[in-house]
Structure 1
């Protein structure tokens, strides 16, 4: 086995011809140890997973292809492309990480040493398995080199990605809410500020709902009330102004409405001062002169 690092996937090729195929090993990518297989049993050659299982994994990854007449290699190539694209865009799939690692273990792709493949190692191992099968079947050399170069560039990016971001691309994993991403999403148009496949915290939506401004303009449908801007149209939940629902007419000005008083209690007298026009005005007395005339 190769000894490039702990947790790196190791491919165990079946035919001896694979040992002659040079692999592309960029810095930070998973090293593939190519060793000849001791057993040359025909049952150990090729993919051990059935076509039906490969098709189910492909559908869970979100890929959409015409599957009529497709072979196992086609399913593997499409599956590797879909998983690779989902990790690049941080898009969540219905495929579980346990399903992918179980598939790789069945195809003799295991991590070096003990333990299980993590999310990064599983993605890298899937790409390595595709390169192995393409080399085994003597696929188109130009297309194989194109896959190898693309995988090499992707694994450089994969090495620098946070492990949690890669795990969140698979179903059944715990997604950590990012409040900062939620703020970016709400400040833009809808969900445009969030990353693809990222779930925004529902608490942020609840906080923003209470912060929406409400107009104090009198409602055109509710008498004496206020409502949000409705543009003059009746909104759901508005009260219909009918004879049965219309409140009783107000009493004399200054008196409290009777429907707020207990039953049988008369309303108190009005505290409004009387009108000045109705007050009887008493004429003021004529002032007498204090000056006296002197008799000469």
Structure 2
């Protein structure tokens, strides 16, 4: 068994995050950030993966799959996996059950058409579940999710039927489902510290790249020293991480990690399968 696993994740949000998530379809400057991810950022990220010969998992909104089939096809041709990130890049809490199901089905069809395989993993575009999301994931036969934050380095099984009764009784965490949760940590995504948005509550940006990746190294070192085959899940966005110096710092992190004995890089579907089989 390896000493640690690294699952390199990407939100290939491209233009969808601006068109759907921030209602910026009529703002060409913001949309151009997404196009940078398509034309510049993603090719640079894929070149880094080719250099280090490590797999990646790309959560891609179906809108972007349909909009940029040649670019998304390159992800597939390079041997990486595509997973579901909805069709629209918007919170499922804003949809009815029928709308959410239709959105997921269209996203699945778009990925299956270009990748030749049905996605078996899901990450909510906003890290949120509606009251229907879990049922829909089961109905649509997803094997894993990566939208929750109930652990940091260890997968677990999603639970159903949990109840919150703040005035009537204690929290009930419900019962386990058969869907693997591979949790993520907001501090391992660069979108928050490096994306300037000039509207509340999203005013942020201009982070320090060296400080940010120093946090990565400290978190990885703790996991490596204290967890029995922990899983380090990163989430980057090509429209940000493809820029310099973020890309340079990312390469330095890969150098740091690959120098550690017993570290293996896995796709998210491989992590979910190994956890389900009791190998983690």
Q: TM tier, shorter chain?
A: under 0.3
Greater strand content: 2
Length-normalised TM-score, structure 1: 0.22
| Greater Cα radius of gyration, structure 1 or 2 | 1
Specify which structure has the bigger relative contact order, considering alpha-carbon pairs within 8 angstroms and separated by 6 or more residues.
Answer: 2
Greater helix content: 2
Length-normalised TM-score, structure 2: 0.23
